[in-house]
Amino acid sequence: MNEIGRNREGVNRNLQTVICGVLLFVAVNCLTLMSLRAAESNLLDGTWRFALDRADVGVPQQWFYRDLPERIKLPGVLQAQDYGDEISTQTPWVLSLYDRFWYLREDYKQYIKPGSIKVPFLSQPPRHYLGPAWYQREILIPQAWLGRRVVLTLERPHWETTVWIDGQMIGTDKSLVAPHVYELNTISPGRHRLTIRVDNRLLMPYRPDAHSVSDSLGGSWNGIVGRIELTTTGRVWIDDAQVFPDLAQKKMLIKVRIGNQTGRAGAGTLTAIWPDIGVVPVNWDELGAVAQVEGAAANAAIDGDPNTFVLIGNQRAQMREQVDIVISFPAPVAMSGLVLMPRQNHREHEGDVREYVVQQSDDGNEWRDVMRGELVSTFAPQQIEFSKMITARYLKIISLSGFGPDKTTALAELAVIYTGPKLTAADGSTIEYQRGKTATAEIDEGSGAPPKPTKPPPPQEQKAPAKGSKKPRLN
Q: DSSP letter string over 415-444?
A: EEEE-SSPPB-TTSPBP--B------HHHH
Residues 27 and 46: their CA atoms lie apart, in Å, by 37
Q: What is the pLDDT of residue 469?
A: 37
Which of these CATH numbers, 2.40.50.140, 1.10.940.10, 2.60.120.260, 2.60.40.1930, describes 43-233? 2.60.120.260
The verdict on whether omega for the bond into residue 274 sits within 30 degrees of 0, i.e. cis, is no
Rg of the chain, C-alpha, whole Å: 27
Residues 435 and 166: their CA atoms lie apart, in Å, by 37
Residues 461 and 464: their CA atoms lie apart, in Å, by 9
List the chain domain ranges: 2-37+234-284, 43-233, 290-444
How does pLDDT run along the chain (475 residues), one tens digit per residue?
A: 443 332 222 222 232 222 234 555 555 543 333 334 556 889 999 999 999 999 999 999 999 999 999 999 999 999 999 999 998 888 888 887 777 788 888 888 888 888 788 887 777 888 999 999 999 999 999 999 998 999 999 999 999 999 999 998 988 888 888 899 998 877 899 999 999 999 999 887 777 877 778 887 788 899 999 999 999 998 888 887 888 888 888 887 877 778 887 777 777 888 877 667 778 777 776 666 667 776 666 777 887 777 788 888 888 888 888 999 998 887 788 899 999 999 888 888 899 999 999 999 988 888 999 999 999 999 999 999 999 999 988 999 999 999 989 989 999 888 888 887 665 544 555 544 333 344 444 333 333 333 444 444 444 444 444 444 333 333 3
With beta carbons less than 8 A apart as the criterion, state whether 416 and 331 touch: no
**CA within 13 Å, CB half, 94:** 25
Q: Distances from the Cα of 196 to the Cαs of 45, 127, 392, 434, in angstroms? A: 14, 22, 21, 39
The verdict on whether omega for the bond into residue 457 sits within 30 degrees of 0, i.e. cis, is no
- Cβ-based neighbours of 16, under 8 Å, separated by 6 or more: 6, 7, 8, 250, 251, 276
Residues 169 and 212: their CA atoms lie apart, in Å, by 27
Q: What is the pLDDT of residue 160?
A: 93
Q: CA triplet 67, 63, 69: central angle to 5 degrees?
A: 35
Residues 275 and 19: their CA atoms lie apart, in Å, by 8
Q: What is the pLDDT of residue 444?
A: 37
Residues 221 and 81: their CA atoms lie apart, in Å, by 11
Residues across the chain = 475
Q: What is the pLDDT of residue 105?
A: 85
* CB under 8 A, 24+ apart: contacts of 360-366: 360/390, 360/392, 360/394, 360/395, 360/396, 361/392, 361/393, 361/394, 361/395, 361/396, 362/173, 362/175, 362/332, 362/392, 362/393, 362/394, 363/175, 363/178, 363/393, 363/394, 364/326, 364/328, 364/393, 364/394
Q: What is the pLDDT of residue 393?
A: 87
- Cβ-based neighbours of 91, under 8 Å, separated by 6 or more: 85, 119, 128
- Cβ-based neighbours of 233, under 8 Å, separated by 6 or more: 39, 148, 149, 151
The CATH classification number of 290-444 equals 2.60.120.260
Domains 43-233 and 290-444 fall in the same CATH topology: yes
Q: What is the pLDDT of residue 39?
A: 67
Q: What is the pLDDT of residue 115?
A: 78
With beta carbons less than 8 A apart as the criterion, state whether 226 and 181 touch: no
